[in-house]
Amino acid sequence: MIAVAFDQAEARDPGHLRLWTVLVDGACHQLDLIHAETRRRDVTVHVLIDFVHVSEYAWARWRRTLPTCSGISKLAAHHRFRIRP
C-alpha cells in the first residue's frame, strides 16, 4: 500500500515540486517502508505521526507491564507527553 500511495503522489507531482506529507500511525514497519520509498524515488517527505495511535500503543504497553496497577491511567497519561520520535 505504501508504494501505491507513493505512485499516486508521483503521478500528481512528477517533478517533486510540492511538499509531500505522509500521515502514519507510528508503526516501525510502516516507517521503514516509507523511508525505502523516499530513497528509491529520491524524494523528501514530511512524516506526521498520528499521536492518538502512538498514545494507544503506549497504553497497551503499560497494561501488559502493570496489569494490576490501579494508577495505570495516571501513569499512561503522564508518559504520553514524554514520547519522542
**pLDDT per position as a tens digit, 38-83:** 999 999 999 988 877 777 777 777 667 665 555 656 666 666 666 5
Sign of CA dihedral 21, 23, 28, 33: negative
Give the count of alpha carbons within 13 A of 85, CB side only: 7
pTM over 0.75: no
Provide the CB-side half-sphere exposure for 45 (13 A, CA).
Answer: 25
As a whole number, mean pLDDT of residues 5-28 equals 92
State the pLDDT confidence band at 85, using cuts at 50, 70 and 90.
low
